A and B are shown apart, each in its own frame.
Chain A
Amino acid sequence: VETDTLREASDALLVVAIGRWRQDALAEAYRRHAGSVFSLARRLLGDGALAEEVVQEVFLRLWNTPDRFDPDRGSLRSYLLAQAHGRAVDLLRSETSRRLREERQVRETAEGGYDIEREVMDLNVAEHVQEAMAGLPLDERRAITLAYFGGHTYREVATLLDQPEGTVKSRIRTGLRRMRDSLTEAGIGGPWSES
């Protein structure tokens, strides 16, 4: 892969090039996805400096172990975001950041609705994602939001919402399926692979 063709290369091809220690390929992956990775981490951690550390870790991990990304198992974007999410959740759950977490107003997160930064993301996609989220029953939306953006386990969500654990568990699962169906219906992410 020549440097000037990297911009057109698929994400999967970029990762192959990263596996050959091509820094320019990592730079291109960063250009495409670092913004999303950063904003997700910041949303969870509420702290720009910590979020930057997460971004750095995620891309260094991609550099050091590119073979852990399998294009058959989803898009690079979802892989990187899942890595960032997992890392941010680890930080949130660690003892040292407990205080940080207590300061966050989780209930507000749950009830504040879904807010997306529209300026960069494709407006059409953003609209559909927002619609899909808004179309969920309130209980499912709350459970997903608290788990994903609040970094809570489903048990914690159950306590926060004062609902049985089993109920929360299945609401998360059902809600995600419902989201998937309505996004597919809107023609977004249909094959659930490359974006």
Chain B
Amino acid sequence: LSHREIQQLLGAYALDAVDDDERDAIELHLATCPRCRAEVMEDREVAAFLGHTGGPAPSGLWDRIAASLEEAPPPLALAPVTPMGAARRARWSRWALVATSAAAVVALALGLAVAVSSRSSHRDTLQEQAIEARDRSDARVADLRSAEGRLAAQAVLLPDGRGYLLQTDLPRLDRARTYQLWALVGNEAISAGVLGPDPKVATFTLHVPPSALGFAITDEVAGGVAQPQHKPLVSGRLRST
């Protein structure tokens, strides 16, 4: 679909009134087009006014919801990790502050080396290892998603600190840029490695695996940075498999 065709569909998309294949094409486009994103956001707000018919929620429903929260407590108390947003911008700058002072410690505490393979034979082996790791019962996995919810990569972390990034689906960057992977520990982002401009499969080592709560990927200058300079493009929480 062309940009124009997509634009024509935005209103219908905001009302969930497009076919599945159109929806997929639009969401792909929205990931890279702020103007169309803004239009969808406005349409959704209008729709919310239409849908905002008020009235109380049925009695007893909250109790059922609360009960199901207790039945299946979430595995980790993770501070929200959200790509983009004013609230997050503040957190990133806080991270930056923490990371500056902690940079030396971080470099010692964490394995920053990442093997990113471009050679296909090595990549196949790495891919197999990554899938094997992901299937282990003691592995923790994070689905890294964009703000639109698009799955852009999976991060796998084993109890011994070995980690893999796989199923990476990120647009290729200019050679002056690189993707960088961050482990989220408390409110801090700790570099887990520089991924290069077109990552496919990668492996990394984290020396503090149990405290890692999630992962995020940013777009940084080639060579990588000690602390994130940009908002995360994608992020996700680790969950036990």
Contact = CB atoms under 8 A, between A and B. Distances in A.
Interface of A: 12, 15-16, 18-21, 23, 26-27, 30, 34-40, 43, 48, 52, 55-56, 59-60, 63-75, 77-79, 81-82, 84-86, 89, 114, 116-117, 119-121, 125, 129, 133, 144, 147-149, 151-155, 157, 166, 168-170, 172-177, 179-180, 183, 188-189, 192
Contacts of B85: 70-73
Contact of A75 (B48, B80, B149): B48
Contact of B54 (A69, A85, A121, A144): A121
Nearest to A82: B44
Contacts of B84: 70, 72-73
Contacts of A120: 54-56
Given A56-B68, A154-B18, A173-B8, A67 B81 contact: yes
A85 B16 contact: yes
Interface stretch (B57-65, B110-118, B132-140): B57-65
B147 to A, nearest CB: 5
B103 to A, nearest CB: 26
A118 to B, nearest CB: 8
B235 A67 contact: yes
A81 B42 CA distance: 14
Interface in B69-93: 69, 73-74, 77-87
A144 B48 contact: no
Contact of A23 (B56, B61, B66): B66
Contacts of A65: 237
B62 A27 contact: yes
A30 B64 CA distance: 12
Contacts of A69: 82
Contacts of B79: 16, 19-20
B77 A20 contact: yes
Contact of B61 (A55, A71, A78): A55
Q: Which 6 pairs of residues, A with B, have the shortest CB-CB distance?
A: A19-B80, A173-B11, A120-B54, A34-B57, A78-B48, A147-B17
